[in-house]
Structure 1
Amino acid sequence: MNAEIIALVVFAAVFAISAIRNVHMGALALVAAFVIGIGLVGEDLDTVLGGFPVDALLILLGITYLFGMARETGTIDWLVDRSIRLVGPRVALLPWAMWLIGTAVACLGTSHAAFAVVPIAMSLATTHRISPTLMGIAMSSAIVGGALAPTSINGITVATVAEKAGLPYSTGLMFFLSVGVNALVVLAAFLMFGGRELIRRSRAGAEPTAAADETPLVPITRVQVTVLVTLFLLIAGFFTLTVLDVDVNLGVVALTLAVALSLLFPEIGRKAVSKVDWGTILLLGGILTYVGVLTRLGAIDQLGELARSVSAPLVAAVVICVIAGLVSAFASTIGILGALIPLAVPLLVDGGGLEATGFIYALAISASLVDCAPFSTTGATIVASAAEPERPLLTRRLTVWGFAMVLIGPAFTILTMVVPQYLLS
């Protein structure tokens, strides 16, 4: 058995052992990365640790720390109270409203900016008794849907890779299809995770917190105003830096603002440290470090070559989309697309069998639909932003949903974007 196969088997074993023995998956994956990377591949410790996703973990740390301070100061409660008064009994609209807001924010330069909206959305879900799974999927769909906009870094990158490969590509069509498919995903989650009950509550005006409209407004404090200004600076400042083409990590910006707040309000800063979801940070760090070992070993490339070796174009398309979704659940979506789009070129050039189809759109969407899984930065941010008692169930549900999208995403996109044109060509 060669090293690539052994490494993939160990990766599968990490999931199995974690589920059976209830061991923290991130810690287990990190140890497995050391064992396989150093013991089997022969890498040194620095090389193995080079795969540790510092950028992604900074995002989680900065966002959860800053919004932990927002919770400690009651700023989140203030925002929730205002939303309750605006929504009234129309609680069924909240997941859709947050999806629209998240999509709009994700379109503006980088999808990571929409991470700043996630803690607010998850707090609203808790207060309004909305399933955190429904709200989490809505926010994930907003982030990945807007990420493929022609104004977003991900969308620009896919267009660049397609152009370099000489493939026909429309940025507008990509965005339209991405938002459309993700709207269907939110609709499915809405129907599966309590949407009908929310509609009944809306019609009956039975939302218990609707009575808040009859209570006097609680005045906003000086501390809360300061935190609100900080949150505004996070979003507006990050957009401005992106427009100016300044390479900056959202987590660094959030952490800087959080530390500035801590200097002003030290006691609140100390309490907010306990709000950082260190377990999710370890989960993401361990999984992505192991994926780094797999990538350097060539196991990911071998999966792509295996898909490309399939003779039937439609079967090859499905295999490539499934691989894109599976790997993207643990690694950078844009990185996977950058690796797999060139592998798909033989299928899309004249004589390849799929040259007249929308396969490139199917591939990009299939790779992004799985990002709700808690092993990705998006999914991890959603879990970290949920109330602590909700996190274990939310993690399990998002894991199942994410892996289901590995198969459902390619099946749906291939059937709607590839098969009709393939049959007519």
Structure 2
Amino acid sequence: MTPADLSIIVLVGLFLLALVPRAHMGLAAFTGSLIVALYAGISTDQLVSYFPSNFVILIVGVMCLFGILQVTGAMDWFLRGATRAVGNRRVLIPVVPFVLGAVIAGVGTLPLAACAIVAPIGMALARQHRIPAFLMAFVVMNGVLSGLFSPVAVFGLTANKQLADLGVPLPMHSSLVIFLASVAVGLLLTVALMVVYRRQLRSTEVTSSESPLSGPTAGIVTQGPVSRKLSPFTKEMGPHTSAAPTAGIATQVYSEAPETMSGTEHSKPAKILSIIAFAVLVVAGVGFRLDLGYTAFVLAFVLILVLRLEPTQIIAKVPWGVVVLIGGLLTYVGLMQELGAFERLSEMLSVDNSPALSLLVLCYIAALTSFLANSIAVIVTTLPLLPPLIAAGVDPLGAVIALLFSAVLVDNNPVGSAGGLVIGATAAEDRQRLFRRMLGYGLGAVVLAPAAMWAIFGLW
């Protein structure tokens, strides 16, 4: 058995472990990485090089900064402003993170960075308005995906430049067509899921007097069918129910509200400085292409000193379990790439047939590899396979759109960096359930998305 074949078998085992209670996929991935590396004769030093240090810096830095937003009450302030336009109409609340994600990604922010910015906002809105976590996670990531192929976005620029270099005969304004198609697909998928969750969205509305939730530890007091929320920034310490839905059954827990977290003594200055720091983070990533992780660390350090916050409380807000999960999985993916496992998977899926069916196979290869690997890397490596199919009669624009969308629609999964950021921004009690639902959706997208994109665009 070749090392590549063994890595594929171990990968299947990792996915099956997701269904086993108390089995941590991150720890299992690190274990599997070492076993496969030893079998393949790869040194531990080389194996360590596959660890996604950039992701760890990004998620830890950004989550520290958003922890400060929660502590100072700036997140409450921001959420009120973001939702003021839609008021208490819960059915329109998911529009906020969708638009934010599409705009931030569309102006040129890398998708992972855009997700790091929007995910905490979207998941806090979900907690505030009792919107299902899976729906909001889907909306957040779908909004980011909708802006990926803007002519000024990294994905759009890369794909358009490579297509031009390959000499693919695309019509005029094809880049705009690709972008509008991505927005349309993202919007349709979001609306479809909102229709599925229409009953939850139309249930009891949240009154404007309620305090928004801004952290995973915030509680919900449930009395029959009507809920009211407790702000985590009050001075009171008392019993209230867990944020997990309990069908009206009250489960008493206690939440602490330390003086350093209340923000009552210098509430307005703390909120203003925190919002300014958030704006600086966005400008640094969008306008100056600075690393968001390091920038967030700098801003968090400055805010902790200026506002005299307790560092341990900020660091405690980092979802370390998610860091281990995604770190382990991405380390294993890097090992698989080194062993040529994805090329082996491509060989297993390839068939000799008509150009149209060959395009379908290529879409499946892109979706399968993108599920585990970096989408932009998959796009760059699969686009050069299009010219022979186009020369054989496949429509150029339709083939490009089908391939691009097959690669990115599967990114709504928890084993990628963006999915890890979304899960990290989710309330702790909802993370395991959300992980499994996102994993199920991601695997389903690998099966259905390529066929749908091929049928809609590839057969033009």
- In 2, are the aligned partners of 1:324 and 1:363 still within 8 Å (CA)? yes
- In 1, are the aligned partners of 2:168 and 2:396 still within 8 Å (CA)? no
- In 2, are the aligned partners of 1:30 and 1:286 still within 8 Å (CA)? yes
2: distance between equivalents of 1:3 and 1:394? Answer: 32
Matched, 1:234 2:281: yes
Identity across the alignment (%): 29
* Greater displacement, 137-146 / 86-95: 86-95
- In 1, are the aligned partners of 2:123 and 2:136 still within 8 Å (CA)? yes
Partner of 2:39: 40
Partner of 2:97: 98
Matched, 1:344 2:386: yes
Deviation at 1:105, TM superposition (A): 1.0
Structure 1 residue runs of 5 or longer lacking an equivalent are 243-247
Deviation at 1:127, TM superposition (A): 0.4
Partner of 2:372: 330
The code of the aligned residue for 1:168 comes to P
Matched, 1:278 2:320: yes
Deviations 1:302-336 (A, max 9, x none): 33345555323333222222222222122210011
Partner of 1:375: 415
User: Root-mean-square deviation (CA), in Å?
Assistant: 2.1
2: distance between equivalents of 1:212 and 1:293? Answer: 49
Matched, 1:358 2:357: no
Partner of 1:261: 303
Deviations 1:23-64 (A, max 9, x none): 110111112112112x12211112111111122222211121
Deviation at 1:253, TM superposition (A): 1.5
Matched, 1:50 2:15: no
2: distance between equivalents of 1:159 and 1:151? Answer: 10
2: distance between equivalents of 1:97 and 1:208? Answer: 16
Structure 1's 417 and 355: CA in aligned 2 closer, same or farther, altered over 3 A?
A: closer
1:195-274 aligned at under 5 Å gives the runs 195-198=198-201, 200-201=202-203, 206-212=204-210, 220-242=267-289, 248-274=290-316
- In 1, are the aligned partners of 2:26 and 2:327 still within 8 Å (CA)? yes
Partner of 2:334: 292
Deviation at 1:106, TM superposition (A): 0.7
Partner of 2:433: 393
Deviation at 1:266, TM superposition (A): 4.7
Matched, 1:418 2:458: yes
Partner of 1:178: 182
- In 1, are the aligned partners of 2:88 and 2:208 still within 8 Å (CA)? yes
Structure 2 residue runs of 5 or longer lacking an equivalent are 212-263
- After TM superposition, the score normalised by the length of structure 2 is 0.82
**Aligned mate of 2:193, from 172, 189, 193:** 189
The code of the aligned residue for 1:292 comes to G
The code of the aligned residue for 1:395 comes to F
1: distance between equivalents of 2:361 and 2:55? Answer: 28
Deviation at 1:122, TM superposition (A): 1.0
- After TM superposition, the score normalised by the length of structure 1 is 0.89
Partner of 1:73: 72
Partner of 2:360: 318
- In 2, are the aligned partners of 1:261 and 1:269 still within 8 Å (CA)? no
- In 1, are the aligned partners of 2:56 and 2:323 still within 8 Å (CA)? yes
- In 1, are the aligned partners of 2:106 and 2:148 still within 8 Å (CA)? yes
